[in-house]
Chain A
Amino acid sequence: MSIPRELRYSEDHEWVKVDGEKCFIGITDHAQHALGDIVFVELPEIGDDITAGEPFGSVESTKAVSELYAPISGKVVEINEELMDNPNFVNESPYEKAWMIVVEADDLSEVDGLMDADQYATMISEE
């Protein structure tokens, strides 16, 4: 199970990568394994506000719909349009090709409140 060291993680299995002012958000390798083959991704629109802990979109496997929960609050400035036609990227490349949205954080320090790789690894090992 891949858990890159440079990312931050939420309890809802989203990751955040900070790149200057931008925060890339996606779901973890552990999450995609648990969900199975992703066949559909629904994302917010550019300009939407998202709120930490609230749903901002959903992913669907053959079997079920799962909500995506915002790890931080902010404004959506980019969405990964490629996932519309290639939802399989979520399974194949959860941390690279399957970034979902880019957010301008309301408060970047919120990211520091998320788990680091070790903490996330501990959490999923206890599930």
Chain B
Amino acid sequence: MTELLRTPLFDVYKEHGGKTIDFGGWELPVQFSSIKEEHEAVRTKAGLFDVSHMGEFTLKGKGAEAFLQSILTNDVSKLKVGKAQYNIMCYPNGGSVDDLIIYKQGEDDFFICVNASNIEKDFAWMREHKPANLKLVNISDSIGQVALQGPLAVNTLQKITDVNLAEVSFFGFTNGKVAEVPSVIARTGYTGEDGFEIYAPADEIVKVWNAILEAGAEFGVLPCGLGARDTLRFEACLPLYGQELSADISPVEAGMGFAVKTDVEADFIGKAVLKEYKENGAPRKVVGVEMIDRGIPRHGYPVYINDELIGEVTTGTQVPTSKRNIGLALLKAEHTAVGTQVEIEIRGKRLKAEVVATPFYKREKK
């Protein structure tokens, strides 16, 4: 067995009772107190996640923007300096290499955050397609990242930063200090709540983590693990690479069509297929499903109508707050209308479920 990778925050997990698991080769905390408590903390107060396993690249040089537009699905020309943008990087057949966020730090100067499990694949893909003059560097090992998410994230972080957070809008970011540590502070996240993702040097991220928990103590901020991160993102219907998105699943099928702009001039990789899917419909679609019979849908469970296999569950659980037994499922498009009765096979038994509206959770706008 190969040794598991650890983030620079590994040693602090124990202080908070963190229970670690093998997460795609990384030894990461699945929970600290309990998934339910952590999930609720993020929905009502705030929670702090170690996401230092995520990958970060820098891309610089004349033509960087044009290059990104040639490999990404969103309209990169719309992105202003100081703003971040969600993107999918696709194969020619429309399948997804990865989903990622690009941060525009200056003209032809980008910071890119990719999924941990895809760091090497993404880096190789970008290097293979990029013009020689552009400088692409994988800085993943030198960057730590924490996510502070929840309605009281702003109150917590404001106590320990020199940045006026009211000036950082959704999907905006800025350079600033958190607990005296030079950081990139982005108003982004993966929970469906307001919050921040903070990038800082790997050797100083422990200081950031501790300062946030100390500042957040009065607000009830809890350290949170990947278990709650998964239930939170799932409830908000944000895709997870390897489940809702994959080499076999295009962003349009995953319901991420809003980040696929086929009217851009550039002929980005995958555009022809994605344009066809957007205009005439994709053969499959990720939809919400809810159990009618007793049972919990899980990743990989097959879905049937009568005896026809129509797809499979991509993510499923019992959601901590609502206790609903729900899932996301990739189904043949003709069976995706809300209210469609389906059967999900759970340990050899076909149990009744139905297609329901998504997202399962939406934050109330103040």
Contact = CB atoms under 8 A, between A and B. Distances in A.
A62 B294 CA distance: 15
A40 B318 contact: yes
B231 A62 contact: yes
B207 interface: no
Interface string B12-40: 00000001000000000011001110000
B298 A36 contact: no
B189 interface: no
Given A36-B34, A37-B34, A37-B35, A63 B230 contact: yes
Interface of A is mostly: strand
Contacts, number: 39
A65 B294 CA distance: 14
Contacts of B30: 36, 63
Nearest to A39: B318
B193 to A, nearest CB: 18
Interface string B298-336: 100000000000000000011010010100000000000
Contacts of A58: 347
Contact of B227 (A36, A40, A84): A36
Interface in A57-98: 58, 60-63, 65, 84
Contacts of B295: 40, 42
A62 B347 contact: no
A86 B35 CA distance: 17
Contacts of B323: 39
A63 B230 CA distance: 9
A62 B298 contact: no
Given A40-B296, A58-B347, A63 B34 contact: no
Contacts of A39: 296, 318, 323
Contacts of B227: 36, 62-63
B36, B294, B323 pick with most chain A CB within 10 angstroms: B36
Nearest to B30: A63
B31 A36 contact: yes
Contacts of A63: 30, 35, 227, 230, 317
Contact of B35 (A36, A60, A84): A36
A63 B325 CA distance: 12
A39 B317 CA distance: 10
Interface in A11-42: 36-37, 39-40, 42
A108 B320 CA distance: 40
Contacts of A37: 34-36, 320
B263 to A, nearest CB: 41
B299 to A, nearest CB: 10
Contact of B298 (A42, A65, A84): A65
A96 to B, nearest CB: 21
A2 to B, nearest CB: 18
A6 B132 CA distance: 72
A18 B227 CA distance: 37
A101 B325 CA distance: 24
B364 to A, nearest CB: 24
A110 B35 CA distance: 38
A1 B19 CA distance: 16
Contacts of A40: 294-296, 318, 325
A84 B295 CA distance: 11
Interface of B: 19, 30-31, 34-36, 227, 230-231, 294-296, 298, 317-318, 320, 323, 325, 347
18 contacts: A36-B30, A36-B35, A36-B227, A37-B320, A39-B323, A40-B295, A42-B295, A58-B347, A60-B318, A62-B35, A62-B227, A62-B318, A62-B320, A63-B227, A63-B317, A65-B296, A65-B298, A84-B294
Given A36-B227, A62-B36, 19 more contacts: A36-B30, A36-B31, A36-B34, A37-B34, A37-B35, A37-B320, A39-B318, A39-B323, A40-B294, A40-B295, A40-B318, A60-B296, A62-B227, A62-B318, A63-B35, A63-B227, A63-B317, A65-B296, A65-B298
List the 3 shortest-distance A-B pairs measured between CB atoms, nearest first. Answer: A39-B318, A62-B35, A63-B227
